[in-house]
């Protein structure tokens, strides 16, 4: 199969034997998924695909690497949109992988890949440009010890009296997103469909701000995110505030096949790297009725220009706008049933 994404098209034309190599933070690409080797990713959706194919797949939060992946012939790091996250991946690989492991770093010019040469030089890792095409750049180096702990990337900040823990690559890293702020101002009206049904699902939990806020108001919270950095951030946020709650890795509802909630709360993503992607938000809305109790409600905030109103109308037969500041709107749609 031919590569689909520009970065993989650049790799496909290399005269390198990539058998057994480790693909780090890769995009979805059928060429890559049909090659040999294993994947290291913090995207639960990517990991699920590789696992279903019976391929080695792990995250940076696994207890230990698959034995077959401890000493790969080499690794390819796909440079992410977040420059700070790319630097974290470099530090993590240097800390975990054997010294001298060949490393290639590939990315799109618009994604800041050209800055990687300076980053590698600052870390004391010699590097050279290997190839460029499709508006992408491929550089190569070898891993070595750099003396910087990847754990230093974790940061904390305060919002609404809540200590939040964050990491590069987590939505709204280090600050409160304006859409989430509007949603918080609207949430005091979150209903309980009965006196003993107050379970709330925080879909796309990010650093856990919504989960912590809801849990402090006596809701039983389940938080999910496809981004494993967000899952870990939310767990750390709940722990920092001594708040209970379940936090799960889930590609939308994939980890919740039988669960139903009195409310689903979300500030859903609509970007995949630099491209607009309505897929996860579409699944969130379309599949929500199957995960709500009778009388349950979906409450979400979105940029005002996003086309969610029609989808809410088709799915629920109606909706209301709880708040609109011209930049963001808070929507509510619900199932008929007991109040």
Q: Are strands 136-142 and 102-108 parallel, antiparallel or unpaired?
A: antiparallel
Same domain, 69 and 121: yes
Name the pLDDT band for 329 (thresholds 50, 70, 90).
Answer: very high
C-beta of residue 171 within 8 angstroms of C-beta of residue 269: yes
In a domain, 339, yes or no: no
Of 150, 168, 194, which closes a domain? 150
**Hey, what's the torsion of the CAs at 124, 128, 132, 135, to 10 degrees?**
20
* Cα four-point dihedral sign 252, 255, 260, 265: negative
Q: What angle do CA 203, 78, 144 make, to 5 degrees?
A: 115
**Structural domain total, the chain:** 2
Name the pLDDT band for 275 (thresholds 50, 70, 90).
Answer: very low
* Predicted pLDDT of residue 269: 77
Mean pLDDT of the chain: 91
Q: In 198-269, which residue ranges form alpha helices assigned H by DSSP?
A: 209-215, 228-240
Report the alpha-carbon distance of residue 145 to residue 24 in Å, rounded.
18
In a domain, 303, yes or no: yes
C-beta of residue 290 within 8 angstroms of C-beta of residue 261: no
Report the alpha-carbon distance of residue 206 to residue 167 in Å, rounded.
10
Report the alpha-carbon distance of residue 108 to residue 258 in Å, rounded.
40
Pick the range with the lowest mean pLDDT from 7-11, 82-86, 193-197: 193-197
Same domain, 231 and 256: yes
Structure tokens at 75: 């690794």
Same domain, 84 and 186: no
Same domain, 99 and 18: yes
Domain range for residue 187? 154-334
Burial readout 141-179 (b: 16 or more C-beta within 10 A, e: otherwise): bebbebeeebeebeeeeebeebebbbbbbbbbbeebbeb
Same domain, 225 and 102: no
Rounded average pLDDT over 121-127: 93
Same domain, 210 and 134: no
Rounded average pLDDT over 32-48: 92
Of 119, 150, 181, which closes a domain? 150
Q: How many CB atoms lie within 10 A of CB 3?
A: 19
Same domain, 49 and 181: no
Same domain, 241 and 177: yes
Residue 134: which CATH number? 3.40.50.150
Same domain, 80 and 177: no
* Predicted pLDDT of residue 69: 60
3-state class of 276 per DSSP? strand
Same domain, 79 and 127: yes
**pLDDT tens digits, residue range 54-80?**
989 999 998 655 555 668 999 999 999
Of 150, 178, 205, which closes a domain? 150
Report the alpha-carbon distance of residue 328 to residue 201 in Å, rounded.
21
In a domain, 55, yes or no: yes
* Predicted pLDDT of residue 35: 80
With 80 as the cut, is the pLDDT of residue 191 above it? no
3-state class of 126 per DSSP? coil
In a domain, 236, yes or no: yes
* Predicted pLDDT of residue 309: 93
pTM exceeding the 0.85 threshold for the entire prediction: yes
Same domain, 161 and 142: no
Terminal CA-to-CA distance of the chain, rounded, Å? 53
3-state class of 196 per DSSP? coil
Report the alpha-carbon distance of residue 211 to residue 234 in Å, rounded.
8
Report the alpha-carbon distance of residue 104 to residue 106 in Å, rounded.
7
* Predicted pLDDT of residue 337: 65
**pLDDT tens digits, residue range 279-320?**
789 999 999 999 999 999 999 999 999 889 999 999 999 999
**pLDDT tens digits, residue range 193-238?**
555 556 999 999 999 999 999 999 889 999 999 999 999 999 999 9
* Predicted pLDDT of residue 122: 93
In a domain, 263, yes or no: yes
Q: In 13-134, which residue ranges form alpha helices assigned H by DSSP?
A: 30-34, 44-52, 83-96, 116-122
C-beta of residue 209 within 8 angstroms of C-beta of residue 180: yes
**Quick one: 37 exposed, middle or buried, by C-beta within 10 A (0-12, 13-18, 19+)?**
buried
Same domain, 186 and 321: yes
Q: How many CB atoms lie within 10 A of CB 331?
A: 20
Q: How many CB atoms lie within 10 A of CB 196?
A: 8
Backbone angles phi, psi at 231, to 5 degrees: -60, -45
* Predicted pLDDT of residue 273: 44
* Predicted pLDDT of residue 189: 63
**pLDDT tens digits, residue range 233-254?**
999 999 999 999 999 999 999 9
* Cα four-point dihedral sign 219, 222, 226, 229: positive
Rounded average pLDDT over 130-134: 96
Structure tokens at 137: 């750049």
């Amino acid at each position: 199969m031919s590569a689909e994404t520009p970065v993989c098209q650049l790799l496909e034309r290399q005269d390198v034997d990539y058998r057994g190599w480790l693909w780090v933070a890769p995009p979805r690409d059928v060429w890559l998924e049909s090659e040999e080797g294993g994947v290291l990713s913090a995207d639960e959706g990517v990991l699920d695909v590789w696992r279903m194919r019976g391929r080695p797949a792990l995250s940076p939060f696994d207890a230990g690497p698959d034995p077959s992946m401890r000493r790969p012939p080499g690794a390819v790091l796909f440079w992410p949109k977040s420059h700070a996250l790319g630097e974290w991946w470099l530090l993590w690989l240097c800390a975990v992988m054997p010294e001298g492991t060949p490393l290639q770093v590939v990315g799109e010019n618009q994604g800041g890949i050209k800055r990687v040469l300076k980053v590698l030089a600052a870390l004391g890792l010699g590097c050279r440009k290997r190839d460029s095409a499709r508006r992408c750049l491929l550089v190569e180096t070898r891993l070595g010890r750099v003396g910087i702990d990847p754990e230093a990337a974790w940061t904390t900040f305060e919002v609404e009296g809540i200590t939040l823990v964050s990491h590069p690559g987590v939505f709204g890293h280090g600050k409160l997103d304006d859409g989430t702020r509007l949603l918080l101002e609207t949430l005091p009206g979150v209903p309980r469909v009965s006196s003993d049904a107050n379970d709330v699902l925080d879909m796309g939990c990010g650093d856990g701000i919504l989960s912590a806020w809801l849990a402090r108001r006596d809701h039983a919270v389940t938080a999910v995110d496809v981004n494993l950095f967000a899952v870990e951030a939310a767990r750390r946020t709940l722990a920092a505030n001594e708040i209970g709650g379940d936090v799960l890795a889930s590609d939308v509802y994939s980890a919740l096949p039988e669960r139903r909630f009195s409310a689903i709360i979300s500030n859903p993503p609509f970007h995949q790297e630099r491209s607009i992607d309505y897929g996860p938000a579409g699944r969130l809305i379309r599949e929500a009725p199957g995960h709500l109790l009778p009388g349950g409600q979906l409450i979400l905030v979105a940029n005002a220009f996003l086309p969610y109103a029609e989808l809410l109308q088709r799915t629920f037969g109606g909706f209301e706008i709880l708040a609109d500041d011209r930049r963001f709107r808070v929507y509510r749609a619900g199932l008929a049933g007991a109040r």
